[in-house]
């Protein structure tokens, strides 16, 4: 078993996740069986309760684990599903060690960071490494070298390198800023970052140097000299138009050969399965204007998987998606929605911004503009329909108004009284049954699909018959037919919403069916508008 460990220095948000994902893609498409895991040094057990403004999107895995958004990147670049074992946090490690101590498993020993915490970290890493008959496990360490919270993890990895002699490679990501009008590349931040890493006993094998432009030969020479890293292992990771270009940037600089050489692995040709995909992604033939409406739009990473799903659609259709980020609180009238070709109403929890989302859904329904609702977007579409088509006064979700006259979205009876925050959550991959003769069946082409969920409230079964009489088509349900999963409108092809998160399973060569249908509908809507304008009154 071999390990590639990605650490970061100088500052956070430097692109470790994209680089780790790119290495996964390069290795897995060079005949190397590869997987990935993420180490997050925060004390939270997982990302499930974290504010998206602090940590971006909460990505949900098949087994229901709520994880960091980098797990989503790994899945997209690897084109394989991961599980909760691929996410390690300080909270998980300390919880396990304390529970073992309470059970007496340490036989009276004084429990310490070394060896108990570090041993638990190594145990978790080896567990993932030993599953699935892997060749290489790529491990990304969150945070920045020198942070106090990441020290136990780096110590564990230092120990792991000693124990797995010759089978662990450290790849350190640093920043090379470009200063002044001449944009001179400064190497001191990289030198200092490597110095901190070496002080804790880790010498990097490869340096990934982030910069605006390709590294100059002089900068590469100085970095190599002062960090004791071979010049050919100083890799330039410069800015590109789209993150899906990064694997190509690394491959051209011989990164695969460096890793193979380090691990004495046989050489095998890299197959660029994304060649056509990247061509369409970078050179689209059409453009549509899409609003992403949510309450965390100030941080685009809060909706990372939706952005990526749109990238996947572009790479498969050649239709570029020009996103307009809209805070749902700002939607006070229809004027703010003019000039759009479609609206996506996003997931979320809590009442803030819900009325703006409902207003946007009403506009899309009345004007014929394409609409896609995901999770809470599905629920607000039901609420809007109940209020404005069925005339149900005060229709709402009991999440937002506990004494609503018409709680069309509600907790199901079996969930009532559960106190644990996670106890009523529907998490992970669940079976969805699709009805014949619906848009959903056209899109999926099969009666059973599996999609990932992250929600608590459901369409209230008491209202479903009346909703269907008024024109809602619930084209997807759970196995029992109790939970509604997909809604459409009768005689309307471009209005669809799902209770599940279709974005989580979207892949570069297999885009989300709902997102692709939405963008194709948006282009058709745009072309019809243009035809009317060109034709005159």
pLDDT (0 to 100) of residue 350: 82
CB 507, CB 311: distance < 8 Å: no
The pLDDT, as a whole number, for residue 420 is 44
Strand partners for 137: 3, 35
Catalytic status, residue 375: yes
pTM: 0.94
By CB atoms closer than 10 A (0-12, 13-18, 19+), residue 224 is: middle
**The one catalytic residue among 375, 451, 453, 488:** 375
Q: DSSP alpha helices (H): ranges in 103-239? A: 118-129, 151-163, 188-199, 217-227
**Domains present along the chain, CATH in parentheses:** 2-36+90-273 (3.40.50.300), 281-530 (3.40.50.880)
What three-state secondary structure class fits 277?
A: helix
Question: What residues of the chain score a pLDDT lower than 50?
Answer: 416-422
Q: Which of 306, 501, 515, 517 is catalytic?
A: 501
And the tokens for 93? 């490690």
The alpha carbon of 529 is separated from its chain's Cα centroid by a whole number of angstroms, namely: 34
Instruction: Read off the DSSP letter of residue 459.
Output: E
355 is an active site residue? no
Residue 187, beta-bridge partner list: none
CB atoms within 10 A of CB 232: 15
Angle between helices 304-317 and 70-78 (to 10 degrees): 20
pLDDT at res. 412: 85
**Residue 362, SS3 per DSSP:** helix
Q: Please write down the long-range contacts of 52-59, taking CB distance under 8 Å and 24 or more positions apart.
A: 52/296, 52/299, 52/301, 52/302, 53/296, 53/298, 53/299, 53/302, 56/299, 56/301, 56/302, 56/304, 57/301, 57/302, 57/303, 57/304, 57/305, 58/454, 59/304, 59/305, 59/504
Placement of tokens 């890299």 in the chain: 270
d(CA 68, CA 152): 20
Task: Output phi, psi for 445, to 5 deg.
Answer: 65, 20
Q: Say if residues 7 and 141 touch (Cβ distance below 8 Å).
A: yes
Q: Are 223 and 234 in contact, with CB atoms under 8 Å apart?
A: yes
Say which of 120, 503, 515, 517 is annotated catalytic.
503
């Amino acid at each position: 078993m071999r390990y590639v460990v990605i650490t970061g220095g100088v500052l956070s948000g430097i692109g470790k996740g994209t680089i780790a994902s790119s290495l996964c893609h390069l290795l897995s498409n060079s005949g190397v069986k590869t997987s990935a895991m993420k180490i997050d040094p925060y004390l939270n057990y997982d990302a499930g309760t974290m504010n998206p403004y602090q940590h971006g999107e909460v990505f949900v895995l098949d087994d229901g684990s709520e994880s960091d958004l980098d797990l989503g990147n790994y899945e997209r670049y690897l084109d394989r599903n991961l599980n909760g074992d691929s996410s390690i946090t300080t909270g998980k490690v300390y919880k396990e060690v304390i529970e073992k101590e309470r059970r007496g498993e340490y036989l009276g020993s004084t429990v310490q960071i070394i060896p108990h915490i570090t041993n638990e970290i190594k145990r978790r890493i080896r567990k993932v490494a030993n599953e699935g008959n892997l060749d290489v496990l790529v491990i990304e360490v969150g945070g920045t070298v020198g942070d106090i919270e990441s020290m136990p993890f780096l110590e564990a990895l230092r120990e792991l390198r000693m124990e797995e002699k010759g089978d662990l490679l450290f790849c350190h990501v640093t920043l090379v800023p470009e200063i002044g009008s001449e944009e001179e590349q400064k190497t001191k931040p990289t030198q200092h970052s490597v110095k901190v890493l070496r002080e804790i006993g880790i010498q990097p094998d490869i340096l990934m140097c982030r910069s605006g432009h390709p590294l100059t030969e002089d900068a590469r020479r100085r970095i190599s000299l002062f960090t004791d890293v071979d010049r050919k292992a100083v890799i330039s990771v410069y800015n590109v138009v789209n993150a899906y270009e990064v694997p190509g940037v690394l491959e051209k600089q011989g990164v695969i050969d460096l890793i193979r050489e380090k691990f004495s692995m046989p050489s095998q040709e890299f197959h660029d399965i994304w060649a056509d995909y990247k061509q369409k992604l970078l050179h689209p033939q059409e453009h549509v204007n899409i609003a992403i409406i949510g309450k965390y739009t100030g941080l685009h990473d809060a909706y990372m998987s939706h952005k990526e799903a749109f990238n996947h659609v572009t790479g498969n259709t050649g239709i570029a998606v020009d996103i307009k980020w809209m805070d749902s609180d700002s939607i006070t009238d229809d004027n703010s929605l003019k000039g759009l070709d479609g609206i996506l109403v996003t997931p979320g929890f809590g009442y803030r911004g819900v009325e703006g989302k409902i207003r946007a859904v009403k506009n899309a329904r009345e004007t014929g503009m394409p609409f896609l609702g995901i999770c809470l977007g599905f629920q607000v579409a039901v609420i809007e329909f109940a209020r404005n088509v069925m005339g149900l006064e005060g229709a709402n979700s009991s999440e937002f108004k506990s004494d609503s006259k018409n709680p069309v979205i509600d907790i199901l009876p079996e969930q009532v009284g559960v106190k644990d925050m996670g106890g009523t959550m529907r998490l992970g991959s669940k079976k969805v049954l699709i009805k014949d003769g619906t848009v959903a069946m056209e899109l999926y082409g099969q009666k059973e699909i599996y999609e990932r969920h992250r929600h608590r409230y459901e369409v209230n079964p008491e209202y479903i018959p009346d909703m269907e009489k008024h024109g809602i088509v619930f084209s997807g349900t759970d196995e029992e037919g109790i939970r509604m999963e997909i809604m459409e409108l009768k005689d309307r092809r471009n209005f669809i919403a799902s209770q599940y998160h279709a974005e989580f399973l979207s892949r570069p060569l297999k885009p989300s069916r709902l997102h692709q249908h939405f963008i194709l509908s948006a282009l058709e809507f745009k072309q019809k508008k243009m035809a009317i304008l060109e034709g005159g009154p």
